[in-house]
Amino acid sequence: MPRRISHLLLDFDCTITTEDTLHLIASAAYTRHSLCKTGGVATPPDVPLLAADGYLSWADFGEAYMADFDAHTERFGPRDTLDREREYLASLKRVEQASVRRVERSGLFCGVTEDEIRKQARFVKLRQPEALKLLMEKALKRGTTLGVISVTWSTVFVKAALKRFLDEDVLGQIRVCANEVVMGEDGTGTGALTKEDGDGIATGADKLRMLCDITGRRPGEAGGQTDGMVVYVGDSTTDFPSLLEADIGIVVDDNRSLTETCERLGIPMEQGLAAATPRQEGRKLYMISDWRELMPLIEGQ
């Protein structure tokens, strides 16, 4: 009999959603400062986040981040082993922290409210929400713990997006692990972007740490446990450590960077879940394009 799935853990951006959503969180701040063309109403995703009154545009923040990222990657050098790749992914912490500090110093999130952030979730493009809702409901009925692990800047935003297609009782049973916009005593943003556990969730190593926290495992324990399987679903290199750590690692769609990383390190990626089994020796990832492909794995418990 197949082992029970004890945990189903999912990434948020480009896994539950079809595209990155960080710009939507930022748009709440730009709207608050009247920096958008819309004149103070919620900003749809096709409206540029413009610079004004001394603030950088969202594109400027992005360019500064990519300059740091490219310079760090070049300095790091070859990543020709799995250990070296893990070291590189963990080392990106300094790049991510520099980006967060840059935004914090700008004061961009000063004065923003949680309600303004929640409202931006209505612009999120969800990946097959009805199929995912059914999958989550069936998993919970079978005793599976559900979690969402994200490097995004707002847990409030993630929960608001999930609330668009999940009932309150289901949403209440999902642990959402992400970062947060710090609110002051007056209920408005202080400008700081805090983290769930101090250092925050910024890299693949951080996401792996949260996976271990949720499951109660130590890194390297996958494959031989008798208390159930851990299934992790993600889409990018930020998910790479967690995909490898899970008993079954599932990739949503084809991310070129992740595919190239797997090819470079000799990690096979198989289309579909027909042959998915918990890893015992070696590593293999599985790729799906539809949440319904996961249903037999849940129902087979």
Q: What is the DSSP string of 93-158?
A: HHHHHHHHHHHHHHTTTEEEEHHHHHHHGGG--BSSHHHHHHHHHHHHHTT-EEEEE--SS-HHHH
| pLDDT cut 90: percent of the chain above it | 72
User: What is the value of pTM for the model shown?
Assistant: 0.90
Q: How far is the C-alpha of 231 from the C-alpha of 15, rounded, in Å?
A: 14
Q: What is the pLDDT of residue 64?
A: 94
Asked if residue 195 has pLDDT above 50, the reply is yes
Q: How far is the C-alpha of 289 from the C-alpha of 122, rounded, in Å?
A: 23
126 residue type, one letter: L
Question: Domain residues of the chain, as ranges?
Answer: 5-299
Beta carbons of 76 and 91 less than 8 angstroms apart: yes
5-299 sits in which CATH class?
Answer: alpha beta
Mean pLDDT score of the chain: 87
What's the burial of 105, exposed, middle or buried (CB within 10 Å: 0-12/13-18/19+)?
Answer: exposed
Asked if residue 6 has pLDDT above 60, the reply is yes
pLDDT in tens, 131-158: 999 999 999 999 999 999 999 999 999 9
Beta carbons of 247 and 229 less than 8 angstroms apart: yes
Q: What is the pLDDT of residue 37?
A: 44
178 residue type, one letter: A
Could you tell me which residue, 25 or 228, shows the higher pLDDT?
A: 25
C-alpha pair distances (Å), 272 with each of 50, 217, 247, 290, 292 = 42, 27, 16, 10, 11
pLDDT in tens, 230-273: 999 999 999 999 999 999 999 998 788 999 999 999 999 999 88
